[in-house]
A and B are shown apart, each in its own frame.
Chain A
Amino acid sequence: MLALAQTLPLFEESPPAPERRPEAGRLWLCAHFPDLALEVLPINPARPAATVEERKGRPVIHAVSAGAKQAGVEPGMALAAALALCPGLDIRSRDPMAEREALNRLAETGLDFTPWVSLDQPESLLLEIRASLNLFGGTEKLRVGLRSRLAALGHSPVIAIAPSSEASALLARLGLETTVSETQALRSALGRVPIAALSLDEKKVRRLLKTGVRHLADLWRLPRDGLARRYGSELLRQLDALSGAETRILSAYHCPPRFTARREMPLALERLDHFFPAIEQMTEEFAVFLKARDAAASELKLILHHQGRPASGLELRFRSGNRDASHWCRLLREKLERSPLPAPLIAVELESGSIVPFEPERTDLFGDETAQSGDGRDWQAVLEQLQARLGSHAVQRLAAVADHRPEHALHRDGGKSSRTPGRVFHTPTPEPTHVGWNKRRRIPADRPKSRDSLRSSQPTEENEASAASYGTNSLLSLRPVWLLTEPEPLAAKDIRLLSEAERIESGWWDGGSIRRDYHRATDRRGRRLWVYRDLHDGGWYLHGLYG
């Protein structure tokens, strides 16, 4: 076969190509959106508008609409000056979340032109287009195509093209729609750019201006080692990146994977056993989909389409990402069994919610049963089952909070992750004022012990320290295991006090002021109570039980 292949050339050997240096390296297109902050906000186009951001603690104009530009408002202006120029200006603060979402949507559009889209520059898209030029027929056609696509989404970009990403971003930020296709041409194209356009701190820019450096071309004339000594290597790095000698690889934007599956029923079904196999199939597909991407689902939506009625839906939320189809099926069956269908079913749809990277379970090398972390996947699965059946807030964890007021020293949270222990604080020790029960002695007015609590206490990740502060603390009297939600009034004759008073006086700063003397007590039935006498009204109340 080899010999045959040698004798009969498969392809006609083309004559050696003339010395045509293929364009090596990348070509970056930067689409910068100067008005992105305005475009994502719902504003009336007829009214002049501007967004504001904080700079050095002062509100400064950030993006300006066309109407406001005509009135003379410019980015970087103080708010007062802008309002003086244009009294009817619609001032909005920026919405970073909406901007990020809009950029993600735009990046998905960019993925139609090239597989490498980066969001590394603020308010701009960077597209690596060297490989796409042939397909789209050159830089200009690509630019026009991209612009029309972005304009359809309601954005007006400035598009610059250069062999270095930094240079294309700089040109686009300056509003120059130029195309530089060769690395050698970069320096001449950027030579007239003032150095203030570089992202340097103002001190350095002023020092450079004093030495007579106005433009980038002046910088390129200076010796590198001297520049690095006087102005730091960061300036050199920027200059190198601008002139195409950059070594940094930009991150690439990827569409987050989404999974949807739908099954039509042959006829309207009502029994769970009849339509559940379809759901099982879809969850299997979803699990395979996740496995192929090394991902796990943290949410899952099941949409049930009914005959002649609006669709109903179920949502599953997992405490940690998982891709166990049988576990999902158990949870879904659990939910479906407990909620009867409002109408017969004609179709079911499964949608993926948020998808997270898969974290494989770590097990002990020797399979030591006793060293189980307790956060195993099957324990998580049990908790998810409980939450699916009893409601998301049914499973809670306890934490102690540093507060002298008993009702505030308890915190229940339905924390999603069981990996991070609740924030537990050192509790400053109250100073019990020992007052004989039947000795009527005037208690000197205590200084409010709140100072301890106001002092920032160190949150500890481990309960050990906190337990130590409770456990070895002989000053803090024994606390009851049960705390009543609402203190119950009781008659003093029904109880017998067993301990001296512990004065708790605190909370004047947040309106929950208390002044109480706590005692351990017992009643006729032998219960051990935690009672207090409210010093505001003199009444006795039951607050806890020593279970």
Chain B
Amino acid sequence: MNGDTLEQLIRSHPGIWRGRRAEGKSRPAVATGFPELDTALPDGGWPLGALMEIRMPCLGIGELRLLLPAMASISRAGRWIAWVTPPHRPYAPALLQAGVQLHRLLVVDAGQAADIPWSLEKMLRSGHCGMALAWPQSLADHQARRLQLAAEEGGALAVLFSLGMEPSDTLVRAKGAARSQHKGLLVGHAFGFAQPTARSHKAATANSSHAALRIEVKPAEAETGLAVDILKARGCLHRTSLLVRA
């Protein structure tokens, strides 16, 4: 891709200063395990110390396979990986197949929706947690900001999955509202997931959020492919779309 080569050229040349970007101070990152994705991301991998939002039309299109290689390397480095209130049971044999060290994995069952950001923040801030995954139903602006700060402090990668809706949507429910028996809206009928709120795609992408990285994942035509759309990345001004074989 032309854009990519130009990007690399500009990045490799120390004399070129680009606005809104402190070049030369490369932030820590963990390799994604997919070379094409590594080159597309400004830090050369998933950024550590950042909040990342992954939007997807529905659960189970392969969004976690994007993260498994990074998960394996983080767990091998001796840092913990926390799954906060996952929508289904994470299946241990699959994680072992991906090379994840199971004894560095925690499944945290936050009883109420209000506890999800709290427990995420606690773990991210500790510095022992390398990656935290959450599937929040809604997240207020200030909560996203706090998570971003906590991730920066702990040098961890916080990953929020959202079903086509904006985590920064101000759909904040009353604090402490009891969840339904199925955790949030992501569970439920495996076929009929609740449809996201009707927002036009344009409005959603234009909406600024505190996440340092926002990507959108869609199933590609090929069985093993994933269309990854980098909507926003810190240190990169344009959107990138690519196909990842995951």
Which chain A residues border B223 with CB–CB below 8 Å?
498, 522, 528
Cβ contact within 8 Å between B91 and A390: no
Which chain B residues border A526 with CB–CB below 8 Å?
57, 61, 218-219
Give which listed residue, B62, B90, B93, B122, contacts A528 with CB less than 8 A: B62
Cβ contact within 8 Å between B90 and A398: yes
Interface string of A379-404 (1 = CB under 8 A from B): 10011011001110111111110000
Q: How large is the interface on B (under 10, 10 to 19, 20 to 34, 35 or more residues)?
A: 35 or more
Which stretch in A114-122, A315-323, A409-417 binds the other chain?
A: A409-417
Cβ contact within 8 Å between A542 and B190: yes
Cβ contact within 8 Å between B219 and A481: no
The residue in chain A whose Cβ has the minimal distance to the Cβ of B87 is: A482
- Is A501 interfacial (CB-CB < 8 Å)? no
- Is B123 interfacial (CB-CB < 8 Å)? yes
Q: How large is the interface on A (under 10, 10 to 19, 20 to 34, 35 or more residues)?
A: 35 or more
Cβ contact within 8 Å between B119 and A386: yes
Which chain A residues border B111 with CB–CB below 8 Å?
390-391, 394
**Bound state CA distance, A369 and B128, in angstroms?**
10
Cβ contact within 8 Å between A480 and B91: yes
- Is B65 interfacial (CB-CB < 8 Å)? yes
Cβ contact within 8 Å between A396 and B91: no
- Is A471 interfacial (CB-CB < 8 Å)? yes
- Per the 8 Å Cβ criterion, residues 408-465 of A in contact with B are 409-412, 421-422, 424, 427, 463-464
Give which listed residue, B91, B107, B191, contacts A490 with CB less than 8 A: B191
Cβ contact within 8 Å between B110 and A390: yes
**Bound state CA distance, A393 and B64, in angstroms?**
25
- Is B14 interfacial (CB-CB < 8 Å)? no
Give which listed residue, B78, B94, B127, B129, contacts A480 with CB less than 8 A: B94
- Is B12 interfacial (CB-CB < 8 Å)? no
Interface string of B106-145 (1 = CB under 8 A from A): 1111110001001100110011110000000000000000
- Is A525 interfacial (CB-CB < 8 Å)? yes
Which stretch in B18-26, B39-47, B97-105, B200-208 binds the other chain?
A: B97-105
Give which listed residue, B94, B106, B115, B129, contacts A481 with CB less than 8 A: B94
- Is A467 interfacial (CB-CB < 8 Å)? yes
Which chain B residues border A276 with CB–CB below 8 Å?
none
**Bound state CA distance, A411 and B100, in angstroms?**
16
- Is B60 interfacial (CB-CB < 8 Å)? yes
**Bound state CA distance, A484 and B87, in angstroms?**
9
Cβ contact within 8 Å between A463 and B110: no
Which chain B residues border A386 with CB–CB below 8 Å?
108, 119, 122-123
Which chain A residues border B129 with CB–CB below 8 Å?
379
Cβ contact within 8 Å between A397 and B101: no
Which chain B residues border A376 with CB–CB below 8 Å?
128
Which chain A residues border B57 with CB–CB below 8 Å?
525-526
Q: Closest CB-CB distance, B3 to chain A, in whole Å?
A: 26
- Is A370 interfacial (CB-CB < 8 Å)? yes
- Is A373 interfacial (CB-CB < 8 Å)? yes
- Is A271 interfacial (CB-CB < 8 Å)? no
Cβ contact within 8 Å between B97 and A471: yes
Interface string of B57-87 (1 = CB under 8 A from A): 1111111110010000000011110000011
Most buried by B among A370, A382, A398, A523: A398
Q: Closest CB-CB distance, B66 to chain A, in whole Å?
A: 10
The residue in chain B whose Cβ has the minimal distance to the Cβ of A494 is: B191
**Bound state CA distance, A529 and B127, in angstroms?**
35
Which chain A residues border B194 with CB–CB below 8 Å?
none
**Bound state CA distance, A146 and B217, in angstroms?**
80
Which chain A residues border B118 with CB–CB below 8 Å?
389
Q: Which 3 A-B pairs have the closest CB atoms?
A: A526-B219, A545-B60, A421-B103
Q: Offer 27 A-B interface pairs, CB within 8 angstroms, sorted by A.
A: A369-B127, A372-B128, A378-B126, A379-B126, A386-B123, A389-B118, A390-B109, A394-B109, A394-B110, A395-B108, A399-B102, A410-B89, A410-B93, A463-B102, A467-B101, A470-B96, A482-B60, A482-B87, A482-B88, A483-B91, A488-B189, A525-B57, A525-B61, A527-B60, A542-B190, A546-B62, A547-B62
Which residues in A have some Cβ–Cβ distance to B below 8 Å?
A: 369-374, 376, 378-379, 382-383, 385-386, 389-391, 393-400, 406, 409-412, 421-422, 424, 427, 463-464, 466-467, 470-471, 476, 478-485, 488, 490, 494, 498, 522-523, 525-529, 542, 544-547
